Chain A
Amino acid sequence: DTEVTQTPKHLVMGMTNKKSLKCEQHMGHRAMYWYKQKAKKPPELMFVYSYEKLSINESVPSRFSPECPNSSLLNLHLHALQPEDSALYLCASSHPKYPSGGPPSYNEQFFGPGTRLTVL
């Protein structure tokens, strides 16, 4: 299985709603990522989890709350979003490599199909 899956494919929510995006991989990868992509722009990193621990938060507003319940699953909880948060949300994962004597480093990233989020 070389796939990253994301649900739902599309999500429409109001500014007072609470919703969650889900990402799953079964490749044994130990790093998982959330990216945000606006139309005609490249993806921008939001969060990185390494071994189920949050390792990077790119100064993302607190209305986005990530969660990594286990090594295969990554969630993004959404609350009180703004219309400008409408975008394609992409999940990715990567596998650690272990240089001799060193901490893990991470290689090729594999992306899911994304969730198209519209905030009304």
Chain B
Amino acid sequence: KQEVTQIPAALSVPEGENLVLNCSFTDSAIYNLQWFRQDPGKGLTSLLLIQSSQREQTSGRLNASLDKSSGRSTLYIAASQPGDSATYLCAVSRLIYNQGGKLIFGQGTELSVKP
């Protein structure tokens, strides 16, 4: 059974700091890995999608890496800003052909960036 773990559960940093969020998964047979951001009481915003054949993806100040063999992904946020404060969720996708992709989520990292 696939299990996804995110460390740390909560993180507080001063503005401008570079930071790394960690995600690990127990079964390396994944289809892809997706990082999401969720603001309190809101829906999920997709940040980055890494296919199982890829090593990393970048979008602006965000960089996500994937090491499938070791079951790990990291989300790197450069020059953090107060607006980055949110919960960050990692989800691995188990592909069920013809039926949709089943996402299995980690518990999330709650990030607070202090001005």
Contact = CB atoms under 8 A, between A and B. Distances in A.
A102 interface: yes
Nearest to B48: A108
B98 to A, nearest CB: 4
Contact of B32 (A31, A88, A104, A107): A107
Contacts of B108: 42
B99 A111 contact: no
Given A90-B43, A111-B45, A56 B99 contact: yes
A50 B43 contact: no
Interface in B69-98: 89, 91, 93, 95-98
Name the residue among B36, B89, B91, B98 with the largest chain A CB count within 10 angstroms. B98
A72 to B, nearest CB: 16
Interface string B41-65: 1111110010000000000000000
Contacts of B97: 102-105
Q: Range of interface residues on chain B?
A: 20 to 34
Contacts of B107: 41-42
A105 B95 contact: yes
Interface of A is mostly: strand
Contact of B42 (A107, A109, A113): A113
Q: Range of interface residues on chain A?
A: 20 to 34
A50 B100 contact: yes
Contacts of A92: 44
A56 B44 contact: no
Interface string A82-118: 0000001010101000000011111111111110100
Interface of A: 4, 6, 31, 33, 41-43, 45, 48-50, 55-56, 88, 90, 92, 94, 102-114, 116
Given A105-B95, A106-B100, 20 more contacts: A31-B100, A31-B101, A33-B100, A41-B107, A43-B44, A56-B100, A88-B41, A104-B97, A104-B98, A105-B31, A106-B95, A107-B101, A109-B34, A109-B93, A109-B101, A109-B103, A111-B43, A114-B42, A114-B43, A116-B41
5 contacts: A42-B106, A56-B100, A104-B97, A104-B98, A106-B101
